[in-house]
Amino acid sequence: GQQLNQSPQSMFIQEGEDVSMNCTSSSIFNTWLWYKQDPGEGPVLLIALYKAGELTSNGRLTAQFGITRKDSFLNISASIPSDVGIYFCAGQPQVSYNNNDMRFGAGTRLTVKP
């Protein structure tokens, strides 16, 4: 199935800076998920969103389910070196060709300089 458009592809920031990344789709979604993946490891779920307009925080992370239901963003505040990794979004379309249709972004590679 069509994958999600995730941007930016990579980010290089200074420790303490805030970070923002987003995912968009051409169709309506009813679930948005954000994951972090360290090199050579499996993705770990950060935040799950199930309702349009929903804004959810997990520590320094905040994610929102866009009102149009076609996008979502993830913010990281006051970044620290252990935030380094690949962040990717996933979502479930409202209209799917099967009951297990999950789409994925290609990921945002975050580098944090001390």
Q: What residues make contact with another protein under the rule CB under 8 A? A: 1, 3-4, 6, 30-31, 33, 35, 40-45, 48, 50, 88, 90, 92-96, 98-107
Minimum distance of another protein from residue 15's CB (angstroms): 26
Minimum distance of another protein from residue 58's CB (angstroms): 13
Nearest to 43 by CA among 114, 111, 106: 106
Tell me the residue type at 100. Answer: N
Q: Are strands 71-76 and 19-24 parallel, antiparallel or unpaired?
A: antiparallel
Minimum distance of another protein from residue 40's CB (angstroms): 7
- Residue 13 or 48 with smaller CB distance to another protein: 48
Residues 6+ apart with CB under 8 A from 97: 1
